[in-house]
Amino acid sequence: MDKQPAVTPAFEPDREHEHEHQAHVQHDRLKRGLSARQVQMIAIGGTIGTGLFLGTGKALATGGPASMLIAYAISGGIVFLTMLSLGEMAAFMPVAGSFCTFAGRFVDDAFGFALTWNYWFNDAVSTASDLVALQIVLQYWTESDDFPGWAFSLVFWAVLIALNLFAVKVYGEVEYWMSVLKVVTIIVFIILGIVVNCGGNESGHYIGGENWHLPDAPFVGGIGGFASVFVTAAFAYGGTESIAITAGETKDPARTLPKVVLNVFWRILIFYILSSLIIGLNIPYNYPSLNDGTVKTSPFTLVFEMTGTKAAGTVMNAVILTSVLSAGNHALFAGVRLLYTLSVAGHAPGFFGTLNRNHVPWIAVLATSAVSGLCFGSTSSASQTNSPGSPSA
């Protein structure tokens, strides 16, 4: 009997592609130390920072309550659809470079090179921006012009470096509890906001929707005011995509990341859209100094103080303080992983890929955190004239 010619199975190309995929994943030598519990909570509240707590005041003053609500809802929808696509790719290829690596592999290596370097610089400067915002937050407790804000920035800068030199599970645990604090605070804020609106405030006055019927409200500034709010909304959502960067150090990413991405929907709905609605109902758009970007005029602080509890403002400011540190910590973490990815891909000097005994690229930590030293060149007065925060806000 004649031998039949060997037939190549139809699934052979997919098997070869799978081998290539596995080799690419194994090339990433970072330790998978982030648990599903940590990653899910980081996805919900990890990057919530000054963009939400301080930026909403400027959005309300610029565009009015309706413009703020619609802009945050539209931006949230765009972010959620983007995260659905990114989540699928991150589950398929769970590497530290995430979307930057995807750009280089599926579009062009030059595009991936440019995107990764730009995003690394963005994260490095964002850490500095959060440390500058820290000085603004601390001004809530001091009126002195001689207050050494740079000294506190220096202390917390050292703390962020130390956290990112330990094993990744330490970073995950710190971010987990900071995220829990922010989540609980926003939930309490929403509940108190409803109580305040229904008359549970110092004056006992039922507010209802009267702030939407003020002159020029609810759309303040017309189409120009509406469009300007999108900039603030985009700033507040910034950093949501960086959760995919944790894929390279997440345990069982194929099962964890899809659940993480779905949590983003609830984060957008509850923390951004519902908070915007509560703020627009309780705070008039023409409240004095609302667009200054300071903690004293943060809508979150104002709503807490409307309950009549003076200590509520101090508590809220403390939460904002931890949020700023959390956002800076997350930005530094993302920047370090991108610099490591550049090193592994041969787009940066090889020593940036050197790992310590905790499987952390320690040289990349020092290099990225060095850029954050730019914050020490900013004075408190100068920082008040700029919008504080970071894309991981």
Quote the number of domains for the chain: 1
108: phi then psi, degrees, rounded to nearest 5: -160, 145
User: 49 in a domain, yes or no?
Assistant: yes
Look at residue 48 in the predicted model and tell me its pLDDT. Answer: 79
Q: Is 80 part of a structural domain of the chain?
A: yes
The full DSSP string for 258-286 is HHHHHHHHHIIIIIIIIHHHHHHHHS-TT
The whole-chain average pLDDT of the chain stands at 82
Q: What's the pLDDT tens digit per position in 225-271?
A: 899 999 888 888 887 888 888 888 888 888 888 888 888 888 888 88
**Which of 59, 38, 27, 62 has its CA nearest to residue 279?**
59
User: Does 155 score more than 70 pLDDT?
Assistant: yes
pLDDT at 197: 94
Residue in the block written with tokens 């891909």: 345
CA dist 128 and 123 (Å) reads 9
Q: How far apart are CA 166 and CA 11, in angstroms?
A: 43
> Residue 79 sits in a domain of what CATH number?
1.20.1740.10
Over 50: is that where the pLDDT of 43 sits? yes
Share of the chain above pLDDT 90, in %: 28
* Residue type present at position 29: R
Query: Span 38-51, mean pLDDT?
Result: 79
4 belongs to a structural domain: no
Residue 23 lies in a domain: no
Q: How many helices (H) and strands (E) are present in the chain, helices listed first?
A: 15, 0
Beta-bridge partners for 34 = 250
Is pLDDT at 111 greater than 90 in this prediction?
A: yes
113 domain-assigned: yes
Question: How high is the pLDDT of residue 10?
Answer: 38
Per-residue pLDDT of 157-200, as tens digits, reads 899 999 999 989 999 999 999 988 988 988 999 999 999 999 98
Percent of all residues in the chain with a pLDDT value above 70, rounded to a whole number? 86
Domain membership of residue 368 (yes or no) is yes
Six-digit token pair at 172?
């995950």
Q: Count CA atoms closer than 13 A to 288's CA, side-chain side.
A: 1
Report the pLDDT averaged over residues 334-360: 91
* pLDDT of 25 strictly over 50: no
In a domain, 386, yes or no: no
Q: Predicted confidence band at 376 (pLDDT cuts at 50, 70, 90)?
A: low
The CA distances from residue 370 to 26, 332, 335, 349, in Å, are: 30, 10, 12, 17
Domain holding 222, by residue range, is 32-378
Is residue 107 included in any domain, yes or no? yes
**Is 386 a residue whose pLDDT tops 50?**
no
Specify the pLDDT at position 145: 59
pTM: predicted TM-score of the whole model, two decimal places: 0.82
Residue 36 has pLDDT above 80, yes or no: yes
Cβ neighbours of 4 (radius 10 Å): 6
Q: Name the residue among 323, 387, 342, 285 with its Cα closest to residue 175.
A: 323
pLDDT the model gives residue 134? 82
pLDDT at 147 over 70: no
Q: What is the mean pLDDT of residues 24-48?
A: 75
pLDDT at residue number 4: 47
Mean pLDDT of 129-142: 79
Is 306 in contact with 195 (CB distance < 8 Å)?
A: no
Angle, in degrees to the nearest 10, between helices 299-306 and 55-92: 120
Residue 219 carries which DSSP code?
A: S
Mean pLDDT to the nearest integer, 278-300: 86
DSSP, residue by residue, 104-172: HHHT-HHHHHHHHHHHHHHHHHHHHHHHHHHHHHHGGG---TT--HHHHHHHHHHHHHHHHHS-HHHHH
Q: Token pair of 258, please? A: 């899809």
- Better-predicted residue by pLDDT, 153 or 335: 335
